[in-house]
Amino acid sequence: MQVALTVWEKEAFASLEVPVPFADVGGLKIFYRTGGKGEAVLLLHGITTYSFLWKDVTPLLEESFTFFALDLLGCGDSSRPGNEDYSLSAQADIVLGFMENVGVAGAHLVGHDIGGGIAQILAVRAPERFLSLTLVNSVGYDYWPVQPIVSMRVPLLKHLAMAAFDRGVLRMLVQRTFHHKEKVDDGLIAEFMRPLTVIQRQTLSFAIEAARPAPAP
């Protein structure tokens, strides 16, 4: 489903030459990348990333599967409201709403980092909807948040914190998390930086509002 874009979203996507796919989930805009053919695969990213995380994985899937790589609420190009529940449990409900919106009755489920925590909740909450579960470096179902992530519980605050880094510092931090450090090039850093330049236009008071405690999963 295509939904109306705000001014800053139009500016962010001005360079794209293809329609921008958003699903409307209860009035929240959830950005996603999709392609391929066959059984559905849902790809849920981890913290400090968004759907671009899967850019080297999706070409391997699209010959046999239809992939859906989501930007979780508050991440990437999805909505960043200040008055929403950003807990993993709430994110799981959004993923189920996304599936309804795009017409996916069942799917293989892949989760990385906090996406893995969301995937575990989904597998327990709606096991009939999922064909398989794959966890990649996942948090535990009920072991979240961990230190020092507590202060960055809300994805919006996480992006603001990252926006304080210059490109060189960000490159250093990203390299520390990569096994294949040769993959950390200018293009990858640009992918990390792109949503940060958008979010810097939003106000600090908006971020403070978003920082209210979230219910435990």
pLDDT, tens only, 23-32: 999 999 999 9
CA dist., res. 185 & res. 175, Å (int): 10
Q: Say if residue 10's pLDDT is above 70.
A: no
Query: Would you say residue 58 has pLDDT above 90?
Result: yes
Phi, psi (deg, nearest 5) at residue 93: -65, -40
pTM above 0.85, yes or no: no
Sign of CA dihedral 20, 55, 51, 63: positive
Candidates 71, 189, 51; CA nearest to 181 is: 189
Please report where in the chains the tokens 């950003």 appear, as a residue.
86
CB 76 within 8 A of CB 84: no
Q: What is the pLDDT of residues 184-207, one digit of tens each?
A: 888 888 787 777 665 544 433 344
Dihedrals phi, psi of 31, to nearest 5 degrees: -75, 145
Q: How far apart are CA 68 and CA 134, in angstroms?
A: 15
Q: For residue 145, which phi and psi values (nearest 5 degrees)?
A: -85, 160
Taking only the tens place, the pLDDT of each residue in 156-195 is 555 555 555 566 777 777 778 777 888 888 888 878 777 7
Alpha carbon 46 to its chain centroid, in Å, reads: 7
For the chain, the domains span 7-210
Average pLDDT value for residue range 59-64: 93
Bridge partners (DSSP) of residue 22 are 31
- Per DSSP, the three-state class of 86 is coil
Interatomic CA distance for residues 80 and 93, integer angstroms: 16
Task: For 130, list phi and psi in degrees, rounded to 5.
Answer: -125, 135
What kind and span of H or E run contains 57? Answer: none
pLDDT at 16 over 50: no
Determine the CATH number of domain 7-210: 3.40.50.1820
Cβ burial of 179 (10 Å; 0-12, 13-18, 19+) is exposed
CA angle 91/163/85 to nearest 5° reads 20
β-pair partners for 31: 22
